[in-house]
Each structure stands twice: as C-alpha cells, then as structure tokens.
C-alpha cells in the first residue's frame, strides 16, 4: 500500500476506510462479526486510515471501530469527530437525533473523553470538527484542540466541510492536518477556492463520499431501488429524472474504465489520487470484495489524456440535483 502525508506529518495509507456505512445509514447495520472481518481485511491489505464519528449510530460506530481495530492499534490511524448536539436516546433515531452544532470548548472536552472510552484508546490520532459551529469562534475551537494535544489526548487536528476563511483562522491557532470534505468526480467545488488554500498552508485533503455515495461504482440501477431505510433515498441526486441523468454519466465512466481494464470505482478513485499527493480518500464499504476493489485503485496509472477524457465524460456541471436536502445543505454551509 502506498502512503500519503497529511499536514504536519500524519502518514496514512493512500486509501482509507470510511466506517459510517457499517451502521444503519444505508439500511441494515452490518453484523459485528462481519464488520470485524472487513476491518481486519483492510489492515491486511495495507489500509492504515480509518474514519468514524460519535454521531454515527450515534456512538455505536466508535465502539465497533475501536473494538474491531484493537488487535491492530499500533498499525492504524483512527480519526473521529466532535461538533454536534445529539439528543438523548429515544428522542429520535440515527441522524434524526442531531439537534444542531455544538463546538463549545466544554462540549469538545466531554466528547473527547467519551470517544476515548468508546474507541478504547489513550489518544485520538486525528480529531475533526465535524461541522463548523456558527455560534462558536473557530479560534476557540482550535485553541481547545491545541490544549487537548498538549495534554496528550489528541495527536492531530482536522476540520470538515470548512471554507477557506475558517481554515485560515483555525490554522493560525493550531496547525490543521487535514480537511475532510466531500470531493469526487461529481462534486468538485473545492477546486476553486478551498484546495488552493490547503496547499498554501500545507494541509491535506481527505475526501469522503469519493464514489458519490456509491453512484460512481455503477452498482446503482433504476431497476434495483434503494432500501426503505437507505438515507440516499432522500437525496436529490438519487431521485427521479436526476437519477436517470446521472446514470448516463456513470455509463460514460464505465466505458472508459472498460478501456483501461479496471472497474468504474477504481477509475473514480484513481482520478482522485491523481489530483495530488496530499489527498487520501476514504471510500466506505461493508463488503470485502468492494474493499479489495477500492484498494486496487492505488495501482491504476492515468495519463494526462486519461484524466482529460474522464473529466470530459463526467463534468460536474452535468450532474443533476443537489448533494443534500435543504436541511443537509444548511449544515454544510461554509
């Protein structure tokens, strides 16, 4: 497995594993034993970068990841996140329990203590602010994480879905190792304003949903509807005419992949990896076969002509529909 360096020296595998989907986000939660097999196989393949968050579950995903990776603790980097106000159990389920953002210093500290216990670790390798809190100055957030780093409870600081101004202010207080944001062939907004700032400051990029929540794999078909509990059913890009139009883009990507002798997922991930050595995507999966497929993307070489052909086949301007519902968009406003 090839590696990448993020920010101030955090070394991770070129492709990580996003673990959110091991819960009920995409339907039925993965059995614990099966989840442990996926995690172990990832380590066996050279994956060292694993992503979770307190809000996934909520809380259950951190416990799952922590327990599953316990035998490999000295080999892996575990990232988790703070920043949401989560309602008590029973008020609502899953992401419906999120009542808003909360990055007050005292809340950050409480979340870190709880996450350390759930993960079963002595230090959090990479701690992200999950979403920018408009009610708390980012300088206060960065200052709190700086103190936690000094106390030995956190190693590296990260932001998620933050814009250039926020990144600059945070970085001035505590160096930011990585920005985790959505980035893929069908969402490239970062390229204009955010990615240049990351490179100016030496901050890595960790793309989540690098396969467009599975859309770019070619596995989603009009005759195979998503499950009733799959949160993607509510996303505009997966609905009606938008889905039909977006599927045509995947068909074009699939044709290029066939010419290269790779899968559409491998081509989409290879495209991201070729955007810079400071980028480490974290595709999620619950299937070992898909995991092995994704990891294979690190060995796919793309020429300048290949990259141009891919970009022309899947121009972002041709993607139909917003990536989130209006409520979701409000949570990722920069």
Catalytic center residues: 56
Q: What does 30-85 look like in DSSP terms, one character per residue? A: PPHHHHHHHHHHHHHTT--EEE--TTTTTTHHHHHHHHHHGGGGGG-EEEEEE-EE
Say which residues have a Cβ less than 8 Å from residue 260's Cβ, sequence separation at least 6.
267, 300, 302, 306
How many residues are given for the chain? 334
- The whole-angstrom separation of Cα 28 and Cα 14 is 29
- The whole-angstrom separation of Cα 21 and Cα 60 is 12
Contact call for residues 295 and 1 (beta carbons, < 8 A): yes
Hey, is 253 helix, strand or coil?
A: helix
Q: What does 267-308 look like in DSSP terms, one character per residue? A: HHHHHHHTT-TTB----B-S-HHHHHHHHGGGG----HHHHH
**Backbone φ, ψ for residue 73 (5° rounding):** -55, -35
CB atoms within 10 A of CB 153: 19
Q: How many CA atoms lie within 13 A of 327 on its CB side?
A: 8
């Amino acid at each position: 497995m090839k590696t990448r360096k993020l920010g101030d020296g955090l070394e991770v595998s070129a492709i990580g594993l996003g673990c959110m989907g091991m819960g009920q986000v995409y339907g039925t939660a993965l059995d614990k034993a099966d989840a442990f097999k996926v995690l172990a196989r990832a380590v066996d393949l050279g994956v060292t970068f694993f992503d979770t968050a307190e809000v996934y579950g909520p809380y259950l995903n951190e416990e799952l990841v922590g327990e599953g990776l316990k035998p490999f603790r000295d080999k892996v980097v575990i990232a988790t996140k703070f920043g949401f106000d989560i309602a008590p159990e029973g008020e609502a389920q899953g992401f419906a329990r999120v009542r808003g953002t909360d990055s007050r210093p005292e809340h950050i500290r409480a979340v870190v203590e709880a996450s350390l216990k759930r993960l079963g670790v002595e230090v959090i390798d990479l701690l992200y602010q999950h979403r920018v809190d408009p009610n708390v100055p980012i300088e206060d957030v960065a200052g709190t994480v700086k103190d936690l780093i000094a106390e030995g409870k956190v190693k590296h600081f990260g932001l998620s879905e933050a814009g250039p101004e926020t990144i600059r202010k945070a970085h001035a207080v505590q160096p930011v190792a990585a920005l985790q944001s959505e980035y893929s062939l069908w969402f490239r907004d970062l390229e204009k304003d955010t990615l240049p700032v990351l490179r100016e400051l030496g901050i890595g990029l960790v793309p989540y949903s690098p396969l467009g929540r599975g859309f770019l794999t070619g596995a989603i078909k009009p005759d195979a509807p998503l499950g009733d509990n799959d949160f993607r059913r509510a996303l505009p890009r997966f609905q009606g005419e938008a889905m039909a139009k977006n599927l045509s883009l995947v068909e074009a990507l699939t044709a290029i992949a066939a010419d290269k002798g790779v899968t559409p997922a491998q081509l989409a991930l290879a495209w991201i990896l070729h955007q810079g050595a400071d980028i480490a995507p974290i595709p999620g999966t619950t299937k070992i076969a898909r995991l092995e497929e994704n990891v294979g993307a690190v060995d796919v070489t793309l020429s300048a002509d290949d990259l141009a052909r891919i970009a022309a086949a899947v121009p972002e301007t041709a993607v139909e529909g917003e990536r989130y519902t209006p409520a979701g968009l409000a949570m990722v406003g920069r």
